Amino acid sequence: MTAAERTVSTTLLAHDRSNGAALRASMAYMVAGLGSVLLMGLLGLLMRLDQAGMLVISPAWFYRVMTLHGSGMIAAVLLAALGGIAAAVSATTPLSARALWIALFVYLMGNGFVIFATLVGGFGGGWTVLYPLPEHGIVWSLQAALAIYAGYFFVALGLLLFCVHMLFAMARAHGSLAKALAWRFLFSLGRDKRDALPRPAELIAVVIAIDGIAAAAAGLIYLVPLFAQASGVITSVDALFAKNFVLLFGHTMANLSIYITAGLVYAALPAYTGRAWPTTWPVAAAWNLIIPLMLLNYSHHLYADFAQPLGLQLLGEIGSYAVALPSFIVTIIGALALIYRSGMRWTVAPILYALGLWGWVFGGLGALLDATIPVNQVMHNTLWVPAHFHTYFVLGALAFALAYLCFILDDLSDISERRGAPTAAWLYGIGGAGFILMFFVSGANSVPRRFAVHLTEWQVYARMAVPFVLLLALSLAWLSWDLATRFGSAWQATRRPFAGQ
């Protein structure tokens, strides 16, 4: 009996080995993304130790580390998510391995520039690289600012290549973009079932490809004038234009990871519960709605930009609430219904999926509170903000991406997960929850975010967070070891035809 038969329902296996090359490229995305998360996580530990006063680094180094950690984590989680969704749709959609590798190479080149700009060039302006701060660094040069812009340029380009390829592949596989988005079914209120419906993961792949193209385009549109200014072609760039576009790019990139990894729940959870998760009308409606909503809610970053029309601020609040509803109602309730009384075995992937649902709900609620204008006036620029986004990243998107890699290995590897591995997954939940809770408590007590030096009165919160961060690090090392020992066998399996297909 293979590892897959022991832990995964074979009728719902998802990985097509006839296109092993695309599956291998997808797995490379996941390993590169999750490997980077481990390194960036160590930088997070370093910052929390500094804020606790336990290992003091200079403020200049704190901001370099903070910038690399923030931009590196956003890029890394997105990369793992992109790999996961490519693997999930590869069963039914012919993806080109070459296109996937090219996009990966370009994307990683961007990461290289970001590492260079921060660790060598000394750039420490934060992951939002808000214009004109990068060009006026006192402790970094213009070259360092250009290097981080170049990094963002290549990340945007890599994302664009991936999403364009995904969009064309999905449209081709389903006959048209409208069919890939289940529009006939959607607009007939579920009555017209003539077109074969996309699976939920396929539908989500199309949705994120559309928003990914929009995000990458915003990034490229924002960067070109900045390069033109640096080379003397133009004298200045409108600061509000730059802010709108960089946040449309960066915030949407962060959002993409969250929604793509939801696709990974739809793709793998059925295999553990033994129940199918079809594309029902609410699923089609919710995910089609995400297309405009994901692009609107970034404007909650513009609340303090009074020079802009009031409508943009209102859009930020409405968009932030509206984007949460489809995901809350359809994905979370759907997943809980799938799990309820299914007799699912609590191996690593299901535990991480359950933790991820929890993190999604609590992180989402924290985000909604922060997007509410009267609350935002008090809480913004406190550690409440990192608290909410770390919740749905560490306990949401990252947990889902890790779970999906486990699922690939459960499916393909001849080696079963070790007996103690579920303990590591539970420890991940405890470590993550404790670490995040201390961010929330700090924020509720008005401890500011992005402060290298914390007053003695604030240090108590970071001191309480440190043991939880160490537990998180231990659990991640344990899970990574388990995954690494099973990975080689899964990789080899992608080269063999599967008897069951």
Residues at the interface with ligand HEM (CB under 6 A): 41, 44-45, 47-48, 66-67, 69-70, 73-74, 77, 126-127, 386, 390, 393-394, 398, 435, 449-451, 469, 472
Least separation, in Å, of the C-beta of 220 and ligand HEM? Answer: 21
If the CB atoms of residues 20 and 386 are measured against ligand HEM, the closer one turns out to be: 386
If the CB atoms of residues 15 and 390 are measured against ligand HEM, the closer one turns out to be: 390
If the CB atoms of residues 140 and 185 are measured against ligand HEM, the closer one turns out to be: 140
The residue whose Cβ lies closest to ligand HEM is: 44
CA distance 375 to 346: 38
Asked if 217 contacts 160 with a C-beta cutoff of 8 angstroms, the reply is yes
Least separation, in Å, of the C-beta of 309 and ligand HEM? Answer: 27
Segment holding 415, helix H or strand E: none
CA distance 338 to 275: 6
Least separation, in Å, of the C-beta of 280 and ligand HEM? Answer: 31
Least separation, in Å, of the C-beta of 36 and ligand HEM? Answer: 10
Asked if 348 contacts 406 with a C-beta cutoff of 8 angstroms, the reply is yes
If the CB atoms of residues 48 and 486 are measured against ligand HEM, the closer one turns out to be: 48
If the CB atoms of residues 47 and 371 are measured against ligand HEM, the closer one turns out to be: 47
Q: Tell which phi-psi region holds residue 448, choosing left (phi > 0), alpha (psi between -120 and 50) or beta.
A: beta
Token couple for 229: 């200014």
Q: What DSSP string describes 133-195?
A: GGGG-SSS-HHHHHHHHHHHHHHHHHHHHHHHHHHHHHHHHHSSHHHHTTHHHHHTTT----S
CA distance 117 to 134: 11
Least separation, in Å, of the C-beta of 44 and ligand HEM? Answer: 2
Least separation, in Å, of the C-beta of 439 and ligand HEM? Answer: 8
CA distance 212 to 257: 10
**Size of the chain in residues:** 501
Asked if 475 contacts 424 with a C-beta cutoff of 8 angstroms, the reply is yes
Least separation, in Å, of the C-beta of 392 and ligand HEM? Answer: 9
If the CB atoms of residues 17 and 390 are measured against ligand HEM, the closer one turns out to be: 390
Least separation, in Å, of the C-beta of 98 and ligand HEM? Answer: 29
Would you say the C-alpha torsion 204, 365, 389, 478 has a positive or negative sign?
negative
If the CB atoms of residues 348 and 385 are measured against ligand HEM, the closer one turns out to be: 385
If the CB atoms of residues 32 and 73 are measured against ligand HEM, the closer one turns out to be: 73
Least separation, in Å, of the C-beta of 123 and ligand HEM? Answer: 11
If the CB atoms of residues 200 and 386 are measured against ligand HEM, the closer one turns out to be: 386
Asked if 78 contacts 257 with a C-beta cutoff of 8 angstroms, the reply is yes
Asked if 339 contacts 269 with a C-beta cutoff of 8 angstroms, the reply is yes
Nearest Cα residue to 486 out of 390, 423, 391, 416: 416
